[in-house]
Structure 1
Amino acid sequence: MKTDSQLQQDVMAELKWEPSVHAAQIGVEVKDGVVTLAGEVSSYTEKLNAERAAQRVQGVKALAVDMTIKLSQLGKRTDADIAGSARNILSWTSSLPTDAVKVLVEGGWLTLSGDVEWQFQRQDAADSVRYLLGVIGVSNQIAIKPSLSATVVKSDIEAALKRRAMADAKTIAVEVKGADVTLTGTVHSWAERDLATRSAWGSAGVRNVVDKMNLV
């Protein structure tokens, strides 16, 4: 098991390795395996990439983000400009039903709302707008319409975990209440954790996935 000092060095090295991140502007603190990133970045994209870089490092138990976004003059846009661009991109996103997603922009923060049938549609909507110039954050409040019984959802998710040959499949318990799924048990890496949650989201009608899995 890595010490906090080793983990800090590894996260700093991974940030330097990531070309889209100005690592010198980001501070890294580690306590009991919990990594905190602090500092100033120039875009929402850089903030996301810094978070993902830290999560790639083996031994990171949890991530706290205390980074602020300071847009350059070239990166600043009015809320109306951002909203217009977001509406256009969403209308061009083939996986989304016409006019299913609504857009609200305030102070560069973009909020999505509306209803879709699948989690991948909800994710596609957020992915299509998060890299727009001038955006400093995205709040995805799009709801998923429930469509299947809890029994079907539970069996679908368990089958997906086994089908994908997850080493931790037998240690993960799936609980379904309505359209909400809770995952408990243990996993051994961020990749396994991500695969388990994506498997849960892959069932039609799942509205919310609660991750209570332990990383060991």
Structure 2
Amino acid sequence: MKTDAQLQQDVMAELTWEPSVHAAQIGVQVKHGVVTLAGEVGSYVEKWNAERAAERVHGVKALAIEMTVALPEFGKRSDADIAQSAQNILGWTSSLPADAVKVMVEGGWLTLSGDVEWQFQRQDAANSLRYLSGVTGISNQIAIRPALSATVVKSDIEAALKRRAVADAKGIVVTVNGADITLTGDVHSWAERDLAKRSAWGSAGVRNVVDQMSLVC
């Protein structure tokens, strides 16, 4: 098991390895496996990439984000301009039904709302806006509206875990309560944890996935 000092060095090295991140501007602190990232970055997408880089490091139990986005002068735009661009992009995103997602912008921060039927649509909405100039952050509050014909079956999700070669599929317990899924059990990496959650989200009509899995390093 890595010490906090080793984990700090590994996270710093991964940030340096990530070409989209200015690692020198990001401070890394570690306590009991919990990594805190602090500092100023020049764009929301750089902040997002720094978070993903830290998650890739084996041994990271949790992340605390204290980074702020300080846009350069040439990157600043009015909220009205950002909102118009965001609506255009959402309109061009083929996976989204027309007018399904609404955008509110305040200080460059986007809040997304509305209803969709699938988790991938919810993710596509946020992903399509991540690289938009002038954005300082995104709150994804889009709700998943269960399809009227959808039946969430415990065995279907468990089968998906096995198909996708989740190493500890047998150790992950799937609990279904209506359209809400709860995952418990032990996993050994962030990648395995994400794969388990994506498998659960893969059933039509899933409204919420509660991650209560434990990361065992």
* TM-superposed deviation, 1:208: 1.1
Structure-to-structure mapping, 1:129-208, within 5 angstroms = 129-147=129-147, 148-150=150-152, 152=153, 154-208=154-208
Equivalent position SS for 2:133: coil
Query: Aligned pair count?
Result: 214
Q: State the match for 1:123 in structure 2.
A: 123
Question: 2:151 touches 2:204 (CA, 8 Å); kept in 1?
Answer: no
Counterpart of 1:192, as a letter, is E
Q: Which runs of 4+ in 1 moved over 6 A?
A: none
Equivalent position SS for 2:73: coil
Structure-to-structure mapping, 1:14-25, within 5 angstroms = 14-25=14-25
- In the alignment, structure 1 segments of 5+ residues that lack a partner are none
* TM-superposed deviation, 1:177: 1.3
Could you list the per-position Cα deviations for residues 148-173 of structure 1 after superposition, in whole angstroms to 9, with x for gaps in the alignment?
234x2x22211100111211100000
Q: State the match for 1:59 in structure 2.
A: 59
* TM-score, structure 2 as length reference: 0.96
Equivalent position SS for 2:94: coil
Moved more, 21-30 or 141-150: 141-150
Equivalent position SS for 2:59: coil
2-side partners of 1:156 and 1:124: how far apart?
24
Equivalent position SS for 1:132: coil
Identity of aligned residues (%): 80
Could you list the per-position Cα deviations for residues 69-119 of structure 1 after superposition, in whole angstroms to 9, with x for gaps in the alignment?
111001100001100110101111111111111111111110111111111
- In the alignment, structure 2 segments of 5+ residues that lack a partner are none
Counterpart of 1:35, as a letter, is V
Q: State the match for 1:97 in structure 2.
A: 97
2-side partners of 1:155 and 1:144: how far apart?
21
2-side partners of 1:24 and 1:97: how far apart?
41
2-side partners of 1:196 and 1:40: how far apart?
32
Equivalent position SS for 1:210: strand
1-side partners of 2:84 and 2:156: how far apart?
39
1-side partners of 2:110 and 2:165: how far apart?
37
Question: 2:33 touches 2:59 (CA, 8 Å); kept in 1?
Answer: yes
